[in-house]
Amino acid sequence: MTTTTDAQTGALDPAVLVLEDGTVFRGRAYGARGSTLGEAVFSTGMTGYQETLTDPSYAGQIVVQTAPHIGNTGVNAEDAESRRIWVEGYVVRDAARRPSNWRSERSLDEELEAQGVVGIRGIDTRALTRRLRSVGSMRSGIFSGAEAARPEAELLESVRGQASMKGARLAEKVSVDETHTIEPAEHGWDREPLGTVVAVDLGIKSMTPRRFAERGLRVHVVPATTTYEELAALSPDGVFFSNGPGDPATAETQIELLRQVLRAGIPFFGICFGNQLLGRALGFGTYKLPFGHRGINQPVLDRRTGKVEITAQNHGFAVDAPLDGPVTAPHEEFGRVEVSHVCLNDDVVEGISCLDVPAFSVQYHPEAAAGPHDAAYLFDRFTDLMNARAQKAGK
């Protein structure tokens, strides 16, 4: 990515979005000026754009907002889901001319510019989304300011020269470098901690460890490169694998770590990327979806209860596991497994439950930032799983 962040740059600077199939959209610059490359994907959430921008699962991607009006409520420090914006580029139709909200601290345009994020506004995002739904997510690039004047053939060559998201290893890029701990007392818990969770940061959102802490659990957030010996030294009552970007087939290190956790009988809970890694640890495959699930309005069926949940999702890969009842895992040492949740739009696997080892996962984001709250019970389910193991061990 190359950018300039001159606050005096004209608001009417041209910008162009180029897709790898040769489709071109021309609009106006938004955020920093310059050029950026990434996989073009669309998000259907009508709210929560700041949480979207700061979700590490979007690393390597240019995000298209299907909601037409973006930036109305500005930006504030409290709503960020991680330490920075992770999207490679940003595409909107109607950008707010000025924010209007009592919590706003600055405009979204200013925040994008300050963090060097190249964007484009004023294009037909409906037509762009329909294109991505028809052809699939594609390599793309945004070129603004002086970069927009380059010949289209040259821009297209740059777009096609970038690597595909398939085969991308990104978890280490977005993970923390050092372990840090979130104490329950920091989030209103007024008793002794009920247990300890080790959360492997593959692109974790800040609300996730907070949800554990609110339930009385001490959380050690550890880097993606953590070994089993380092994890075990923290004496976890449970292990959590977070959401994150990239192709799960590249995460061999984390997959082997998870297998060691399962062999040790430590309760496990994974979301999003963590769900895909559980699938691979059990011996199932994963595959790239045509355009993925991204937004805060994805319907999921809990097959155990028959309840339909409206969920927040952000993933382009999925687990390839049979939907027709419990099966023995391809890695037979882990026993029986069943698909616990499915997407009602396309029958994609949305959850896995192990029947002979204490482990389960879901493909969506139950931490509810920026919503919805239907799946918050999963944190309680994990707490119950840890309590059951502790009682069995006589603790």
Binding residues for L-glutamine: 57, 244, 246, 273, 276, 314, 316-317
Region at 292 (left for phi over 0; alpha for psi -120 to 50; beta for the rest): left
Q: Which of 315, 288, 348, 293 is nearest to 166 (CA)?
A: 288
* Residue 369 neighbours by CB under 8 Å, 6+ apart: 48, 51, 81, 205, 206, 207, 312
Binding-site residue ranges:
57, 244, 246, 273, 276, 314, 316-317
- Name the active-site residue from 272, 309, 338, 343: 272
Distance of alpha carbon 159 from alpha carbon 153, whole angstroms: 10
Q: Confirm if 271 and 200 have CB atoms less than 8 A apart.
A: no
SS3 292: strand
Handedness of CA 217, 221, 227, 233 (dihedral sign): negative
Q: Confirm if 293 and 314 have CB atoms less than 8 A apart.
A: yes
Name residue, tokens 């037979």: 332
Helices (H), the chain: 49-53, 108-114, 125-135, 152-160, 171-174, 207-213, 228-232, 252-264, 273-282, 377-392
Known active-site residue 220:
no
Phi and psi at 138, nearest 5°, equal: -130, 155
Report, in angstroms and rounded to the nearest whole number, the Rg of the chain calculated over CA atoms.
Answer: 21
The separation between CA 13 and the C-alpha centre of its own chain, rounded to angstroms, equals 31
* Residue 318 neighbours by CB under 8 Å, 6+ apart: 276, 286, 287, 289, 348, 349, 363
Known active-site residue 272:
yes
The separation between CA 48 and the C-alpha centre of its own chain, rounded to angstroms, equals 14
Tokens for 103, please give them.
């919590």
What are residue 119's DSSP bridge partners? 30, 90
Residue 98 DSSP label: S
Residue 108 DSSP label: H
Known active-site residue 365:
yes
- Catalytic amino acids? 272, 365, 367
